[in-house]
């Protein structure tokens, strides 16, 4: 089956055509320059940009895949969680196409898309070797959670953030350090050549649910450090040490809890996806500590939001006989717990 996937949950307008796990096209129109001046995504501006770009992005995805719209077997679209304005743009286009061509419509949970991203491959590439079951660490600007995925459509929530997502902690930390948006790549760049042990930032391990995450204390610690050691009086090497130490605290928490979750459920596979999954220090730390655990990660371009992951999740839902009716609406705060064996 060939599925068109549409993703507009935040600040990437994306569409892709996927056949089985093969990506025939994956067009992504980003908005970094639009939001950089504000240090983060402005929802209203993001929505307007989606409206501007969505038609051209979908047309380019079909053209690059050498696929006519009527040859599609279904249209998958992100319906949540995310920014309501952006979600509405994607859903409106997907509904219009599905109704006009009498094609199945499949509403997809954004995080299930990320969950499927390591399964994707280009036509000339070998099978990626991903298989269920596995523990999944899904980390992005808006989400940080641990799942045990027993099979597609059947997930056990192990832990999630109690405050900021990991990507948000990177963005806010970068802002305090005077670095540009997005924060993750900016901090990673400054951290190169820095000593990650120079400053011992706190790690919130938590007792009640040891697989939950909290990054508010880490941000406060960085702010306190900067009050006592202002950036303008901090030498360049000390700034690199500061960025490396902050990054190390973030990825240490993520890696430690993910690997502990694997041991807890007896999983020999750990899947890491989402924008923060592109962080090289996180990947290195996991590879160093994984021992006999197989690490499953998507290629770097598929870590951030993209239509291909939505298309693949939609393909699997459609294979199970699950599709959405025309009353489908966006769900900006769609809980992960509602994912198990749902029919949209």
Per residue in 187-196, pLDDT (tens digit) is: 999 999 999 9
- Taking only the tens place, the pLDDT of each residue in 105-140 is 999 999 999 999 999 999 888 888 889 999 999 999
Q: Quick check: 232 pLDDT over 80?
A: yes
- The tokens describing 175, both together, are 């802002």
Please state the rounded mean pLDDT for residues 194-201. 97
Residue-level pLDDT at 344: 47
Give the Cα separation of 333 and 102 in Å (integer): 29
What is the mean pLDDT of the segment spanning 310-338? 93
pLDDT digits (tens, 9 = 90+) for 55-66: 999 999 999 999
The pLDDT of residue 123: 85
Partner residues linked to 28 by β-bridges:
14
Domains of the chain, earliest start first: 2-120+302-339 (3.30.420.40), 134-297 (3.30.420.40)
Q: What percent of the chain has pLDDT over 90?
A: 90
How far is C-alpha 72 from the chain's CA centre? Answer: 26
The C-alpha atoms of residue 77 and residue 17 are separated, in whole angstroms, by 12
Sign of CA dihedral 242, 246, 249, 252: negative
The pLDDT-based confidence of 203 (bands split at 50, 70, 90) is very high
Q: Which two tokens stand for residue 63?
A: 């053209």
pLDDT tier at 337, thresholds 50, 70, 90: confident
| C-alpha–C-alpha distance, residues 103 and 233, integer Å | 62
């Amino acid at each position: 089956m060939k599925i068109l996937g549409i993703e507009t949950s935040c600040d990437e307008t994306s569409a892709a055509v996927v056949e089985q796990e093969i990506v025939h096209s994956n067009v992504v129109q980003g908005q970094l320059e639009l939001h950089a001046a504000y240090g983060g995504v402005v929802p209203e501006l993001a929505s307007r940009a989606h409206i501007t770009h969505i038609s051209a992005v979908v047309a380019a995805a079909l053209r690059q895949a050498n696929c006519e719209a009527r040859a599609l077997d279904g249209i998958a679209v992100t319906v949540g969680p995310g920014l309501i304005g952006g979600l509405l743009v994607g859903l409106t286009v997907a509904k219009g196409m599905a109704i006009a061509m009498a094609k199945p419509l499949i509403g997809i949970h954004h995080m299930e898309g990320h969950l499927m991203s390591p399964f994707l491959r280009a036509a000339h590439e070998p099978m990626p070797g991903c298989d269920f079951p596995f523990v999944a660490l899904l980390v992005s600007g808006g989400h940080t959670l641990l799942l045990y995925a027993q099979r597609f459509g059947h997930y056990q929530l192990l832990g999630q953030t109690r405050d900021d997502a990991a990507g948000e902690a990177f963005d806010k930390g970068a802002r305090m350090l005077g670095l540009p948006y997005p924060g993750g790549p900016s901090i990673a760049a400054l951290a190169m050549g820095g000593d990650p042990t120079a400053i011992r930032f706190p790690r919130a391990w938590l007792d009640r649910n040891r697989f939950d995450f909290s990054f508010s204390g880490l941000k406060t610690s960085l702010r306190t450090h900067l009050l006592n050691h202002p950036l303008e009086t901090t030498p360049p090497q000390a700034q690199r040490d500061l960025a490396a130490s902050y990054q190390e605290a973030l990825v240490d928490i993520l890696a430690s809890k993910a690997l502990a979750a694997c041991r807890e459920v007896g999983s020999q596979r750990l899947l890491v996806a989402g924008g923060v999954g592109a962080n090289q220090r996180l990947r290195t730390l996991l590879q160093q500590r994984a021992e006999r655990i197989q690490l499953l990660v998507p290629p770097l371009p598929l870590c951030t939001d993209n239509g291909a992951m939505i298309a693949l999740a939609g393909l699997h839902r459609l294979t199970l006989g699950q599709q959405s009716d025309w009353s489908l609406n966006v769900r900006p705060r769609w809980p992960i717990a509602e994912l198990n064996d749902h029919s949209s």
